[in-house]
């Protein structure tokens, strides 16, 4: 969840500042972009060089660096951040956040930020228990900030009790879970199908189609970014799935049917983007069919209509999304599929639109909902089309 997140780490004056080095390392290892703001008191406990080396970014300590002439724009830093974590936060800085005192770069960035802010207090037992500190904690929580509670343990004073900053591993886990829980599809199980199916003629040849799987993979990735637990059932394709997906590889329509019917009962949302073959050879040769002077006649039989099968057993809480790739009378066919197969949304592609359909990196879609309301979109990248489809899903998933 922290991959590619822009994170500002504030480090205040506390012996626990040494843990900030480990925290930076873990955040960077998780794929985050980290910028550190070190308060003047914090610099007494850990050097800017250590944090700059680990974060691979300059460390900010004041508004204006006289030696270099560089001005640290607190507004830009606040807007850059996807989240701010102040760890450790001292009783002094905690009081500043509670009262709006803005006398250093960190507090100025805090007041400028529009992102979630997390604080991990570190102080001696009596300081933590003091009524003023507890009032300040309640106040910053009331502002919408999140406190990562200190742990019990041995303190720098020699006392034993509450006030020890949470361990870096615990902080990273806390942030990861907080991001997940804030996502609109957190806790939802979603199944997505993508790519073609190959229907064997003999051990060498098959009947297939031109689907690359790009659209389905883009949708699966976007749904995962929204916090869903995504199972991607993919036909033969060269596309790579994101790490947050569970991928199930299949080849034939029968294998895709078996995989879908296994996953579907536990799915809250299903997006059937795969281009499943409508027909397969009735008999599959066990040996390669040799070229003959005469023609070759293949007898075909229908494959199971997976979308219709799922629509027939769909529960009221489940959302089922289908695709319609058409070449003529597109809208009528799409609306017919929506009604006959018990869909909640149908996504219409037309091969008459240049740049849409199989293999391309772009697509042009029209979405129909259960009320047959139509939303038409311009030609876009398949990544942006996936976002439009997910937005339509979110509207009916609330």
| Residues with catalytic roles | 209
Distance CA 202, CA 220 (A): 32
* SS3 state at 307: helix
- In terms of residues, how long is the chain? 398
DSSP 296: -
Output the CA torsion sign for 280, 283, 289, 295: negative
Distance CA 166, CA 146 (A): 14
Distances (CA, A) of 67 to 41, 58, 105, 108, 248: 20, 14, 17, 22, 57
Distance CA 330, CA 157 (A): 75
- Residues 6+ away with beta carbon under 8 Å from 101: 95, 107
Angle between helices 253-263 and 306-313 (to 10 degrees): 20
**Quick check: 46 and 22 in contact, CB under 8 A?**
no
The values of phi and psi at residue 166, to 5°, are: -55, 150
């Amino acid at each position: 969840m922290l991959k590619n997140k822009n994170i500002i780490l504030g480090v205040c004056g506390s012996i626990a500042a040494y843990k900030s080095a480990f925290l930076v390392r873990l955040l960077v290892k998780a794929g985050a972009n980290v910028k550190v703001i070190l308060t003047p008191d914090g610099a007494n406990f850990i050097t800017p060089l250590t944090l700059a080396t680990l974060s691979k970014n300059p460390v900010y300590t004041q508004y204006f660096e006289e030696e270099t002439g560089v001005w640290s724009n607190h507004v830009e830093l606040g807007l850059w951040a996807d989240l701010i974590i102040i760890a450790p936060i001292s009783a002094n800085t905690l009081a500043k956040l509670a009262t709006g005192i803005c006398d250093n770069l960190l507090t100025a960035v805090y007041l400028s930020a529009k992102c979630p802010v997390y604080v991990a207090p570190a102080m001696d037992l009596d300081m933590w228990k003091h009524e003023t500190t507890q009032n300040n904690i309640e106040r910053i929580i009331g502002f919408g900030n999140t406190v990562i509670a200190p742990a019990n343990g041995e303190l720098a004073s020699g006392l034993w009790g509450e006030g020890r900053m949470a361990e870096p591993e615990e902080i990273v886990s806390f942030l990861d879970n907080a991001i997940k829980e804030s996502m609109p599809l957190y806790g939802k199980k979603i199944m997505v199908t993508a790519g073609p199916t190959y229907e064997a003629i003999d051990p060498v040849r098959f009947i297939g189609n031109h689907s690359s799987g790009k659209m389905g993979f883009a949708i699966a990735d976007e749904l995962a970014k929204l916090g869903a637990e995504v199972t991607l059932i993919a036909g033969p394709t060269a596309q790579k799935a994101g790490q947050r997906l569970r991928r199930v590889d299949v080849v034939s329509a029968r294998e895709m049917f078996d995989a879908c019917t296994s996953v579907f009962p536990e799915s809250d949302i299903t997006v059937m983007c795969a281009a499943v073959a409508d027909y397969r050879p009735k008999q599959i040769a066990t040996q390669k069919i040799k070229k003959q002077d005469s023609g070759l006649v293949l007898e075909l039989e229908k494959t199971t209509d997976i979308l219709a099968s799922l629509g027939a057993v769909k529960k009221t809480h489940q959302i089922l999304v289908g695709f319609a790739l058409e070449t003529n009378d597109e809208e009528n066919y799409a609306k017919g599929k929506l009604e006959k197969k018990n869909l909640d949304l149908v996504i219409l592609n037309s091969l008459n639109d240049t740049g849409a359909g199989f293999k391309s990196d772009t697509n042009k879609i029209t979405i129909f909902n259960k009320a047959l309301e139509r939303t038409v979109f311009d030609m876009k990248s398949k990544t942006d089309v996936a976002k439009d489809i997910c937005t339509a899903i979110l509207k009916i998933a609330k």
